[in-house]
Chain A
Amino acid sequence: MFARLKQMLIKEFIQTLRDKRTRFILIGPPIIQMLVFGYAATFEIHHVATVVLDQDHSQQSRELISRFTSSPYFDVERQLTDRSQVRDLIDSGDATVAIEIDAGFAQKLEKGETAPVQVIVDATNSNTALIASAYVSQIALDFARQAQQDRMGRIAPALVSQIPSVSLESRPWYNVNLSSRWFFVPGVIGSLTLVLVITLTAFAVVREREIGTLEQIMVTPIRPFEFILGKTLPFFLIGLFDVSLIAVVGTLWFQVPFRGHIAVLALGSVLFLICMLGVGLLISTVSSTQQQAMVTAFFFIMPAITFSGFGFPIATMPVWLQYCTYLSPLRYFLVVLRGTYLKGIGLDILWPQMAAMGVLGFSLLAMAILRFHKAVE
């Protein structure tokens, strides 16, 4: 059995690695995707194009504006003179945030009334708008607190030092600088592996069927089980190689910390790869042409990634959809990846994920093998 298996493995490796283009596809696109993702995928906001319409021209209004100018989140690009300019600039997309201070701002502050500041945000991108308006409020509130204190100082100077105040000290754990890259890079490792291993496995078997060589192999003494093992093992190894390659490139290039134990990640990767091989084989058993295989794979890959928590939080999905996410092996692998990379947690916390991947993986593989037997007979 081992002799036959060995021959099969040699054949598979030669077949996969012979073509220059396929060789490139195993290495080039994953690395390019890792880099593009690392740079492009961010929900952080910095230097939002901002315009200011100051109709008060007082010291206070200038003070408030200078707080925006000195903030890294806003680039105050223009001081406007007329309200109609706001509409044009936001419409054309040249400005994302417009801050309007009406005449009488300083006067109201002095009198102890509430002085309004109007903020207009282009919410075409709802996420940018949400975060930008939070930053605007924060800056305005800081200014307000200062103004309140000044006012208190005038009314009751003796009490200023005694007034109680409550403040919140936020400590972002695991990702102190709130870097999007630290969040996305481990996720990209998982999703790229998913895409690569599924398409490779599905294509490899279907191609043999489409060309007609599958029948040829079946008339040799090789048994279906050996054939499956011979087909999957190379992709298992190639997949493992690709995970390591992408992981190393992503980690070193983007300087993402690895805080956990490498063995935990390795175990997670092996279990995840088993799942992916199972899916790839299953797809190959239901497809007779490569086009069908590709399309079927696409139908699996898109939801698997969307529901994995890769970029979009699972907690905000409708509840019925949250249940669906339990079916995506990537969901568990991402917890393992982020857990080992950023949180530095071990098996004592990650065992449910490992168990889930194990169960999913072996049932998928068993299903694939059963179906495959049938397809061959």
Chain B
Amino acid sequence: MSLTRLIAVARKEVLHIVRDARSLGIVIVMPVTLMLLFGYGVNLDLKGLPIYVYDQEGSQQSQDLLKHFQSSEYFHVAHEVDNYPALTCALDDGSAKMAIVIPWNFSQQLGAGGQVQVQALVDATDDNTANVLMGYAQAVVQGYGSQIQLDWLRRRGIAISTAPVSVETRTWYNENLESSAFIIPGVLALVMSVIGAFLTSLTIAREWERGSMEQLISTPVTAMEIMLGKLAPYFVIGMFDVAVCAFLAIEWFHVPFRGSFATLSLSSALFMIVVLALGFLISVLAKNQFAASQIALLITFLPAFLLSGFLFAIEQMPPVLQWITRILPARYYVSVLKKVFLKGTPTAMLSADLVPLAIFAIVLTLVATRSFHKRLE
């Protein structure tokens, strides 16, 4: 292997990238776009959701209960209606996510000392939103109910403490339960999948498609030099993008960073090697650019998005799928990212993630080299 030839190949690749203004723009604009997209566009902190109320009674007490809903930051009482069809319609066309119905005999029943039921009709098309909404509504009604009970008892001369049991919840690592802190670190894995596999497989597939790869082979350059030379610029770009993303995450979106930058760089470098090898492999196996792009999408971007724990918790998937995630490099990288950003786990404790990543990097590089040799023969 000669360093001069390797550098020559790398220089050629850099020229390719630099000459195509759009590709150059992409390597800088894409990470920023993805960060902003997920940073602003993905927000699972449900607050101020539109609800409708239907107060059949309109008494002092029913209005009191509604005030509890109005003052909650989780709800936005968009409309008060006076019939059922209006509620149904609002839920049907999506202008209300939930409708609260207070029965016509609300205060009367409360006075009589019975159990009163308030109804919440919830648009459960989006099960997650529905679930969270029902939880909040439950809390509001319970709070109101216990206050009523205490007043009632006090009037009868019985003093009793408010709540027999109090729950004190502490959320570690992400104290304010911000979904941005949970999502943004994982975006790094998405960005690298795109840069690494997507862009690389396309560029190299193009050389095959146009036949310029054969021309390259006929020169004294060896296969290894071609591979390294072609991938080196993308490695540099990928690492640059990691830095950009990490900077944005910490400075712009204020995601806490509690681990070490060395660990972040090490794991990112390993993952970059993995995706580059994958991209190279795809380009060798795929016949044309369209096929290459689709395969790259299917085996790098999609797993990074869906099966890595980036957004959906792996523990909640069916066992078969959980097992499959074990053979996906993105899973380990996302796990490292979340630990480095939020938990500040020391590097020594990350071996369960870093070792598999390193193994993937070595194995995939070997496989890619091998299949490249084969295709050349």
Instruction: Mark A98-131 against chain B: 1 for CB-CB distance below 8 A, else 0.
Output: 0000000000010011111111111111111111
Task: Please tell me if B290 contacts chain A, counting CB pairs below 8 Å.
Answer: yes
Q: How large is the interface on B (under 10, 10 to 19, 20 to 34, 35 or more residues)?
A: 35 or more
Cβ of B165 under 8 Å from chain A = yes
Residue on B nearest A297 in the bound complex, by CB: B293
CB within 8 Å of A: which of B166-219?
166-175, 177-179, 181-182, 194, 198-199, 202-203, 206
**Are A317 and B43 in contact, with the CB atoms below 8 A?**
yes
- The reply on A136 being an interface residue by CB < 8 A is yes
| Assembly CA distance A213 to B120 (angstroms) | 62
Q: Are A170 and B137 in contact (CB under 8 A)?
A: yes
Q: A290-B289, A291-B203 are in contact. Are A316 and B45 (CB under 8 A)?
A: yes
A169 touches B117 (CB 8 A): yes
Q: With contacts A121-B171, A127-B128, A317-B40 known, is A36 near B302, CB below 8 A? A: yes
Q: Which of B92, B130, B202 contacts A345 (CB 8 A)?
A: B92
Bound CA–CA A273/B355 (angstroms): 46
Question: Are A167 and B116 also in contact (CB < 8 A) when A127-B182, A312-B41 are?
Answer: yes
In the assembled complex, which residues on chain B have CB atoms less than 8 Å from the CB atom of A174?
123-125
Chain A contact-residue range equals 35 or more
Instruction: Tally A-B pairs: CB < 8 A.
Output: 358
With A131-B135, A203-B290, A298-B194 given, is the CB distance from A40 to B127 under 8 Å? no
Given contacts A25-B294, A124-B174, A138-B138, whether A290 and B125 have CB atoms under 8 Å apart is no
Q: Does A255 contact B (CB under 8 A)?
A: no
Note all chain B residues with C-beta closer than 8 A to A49.
Answer: 315
Which chain B residues lie closer than 8 Å to A315 at the CB level? Answer: 46, 48-50, 97
For B45, what are the chain A residues with a Cβ–Cβ distance below 8 Å? 126, 316
Over the window 57-89 of chain B, the binary record of Cβ atoms lying under 8 Å from chain A Cβ atoms (1 yes, 0 no) is: 000000001000000000000000000000001
Q: Sort A-B residue pairs by CB-CB distance and give the 7 closest, nearest first.
A: A172-B124, A166-B145, A123-B171, A162-B113, A134-B135, A43-B128, A123-B174
Q: Point out residues on B near A: beta carbons under 8 Å.
A: 20, 22-23, 26, 30, 33-34, 37-38, 40-50, 65, 89, 91-94, 97, 109-132, 134-135, 137-139, 141-142, 144-145, 148-149, 152-153, 156, 158, 160-175, 177-179, 181-182, 194, 198-199, 202-203, 206, 286-291, 293-294, 297-298, 302, 306-307, 309, 311-313, 315-318, 321, 338-339, 342-343, 345, 349
Q: Which residues of A contact B (CB under 8 A)?
A: 19, 21-22, 25, 29, 32-33, 36-37, 39-49, 64, 90-92, 96, 109, 112-131, 133-134, 136-138, 140-141, 143-144, 147-148, 151-152, 155-156, 159, 161-176, 178-180, 182-183, 195, 199, 203, 207, 289-292, 294-296, 298-299, 302-303, 306-307, 311-313, 315-318, 321, 335, 338-339, 342-343, 345, 349
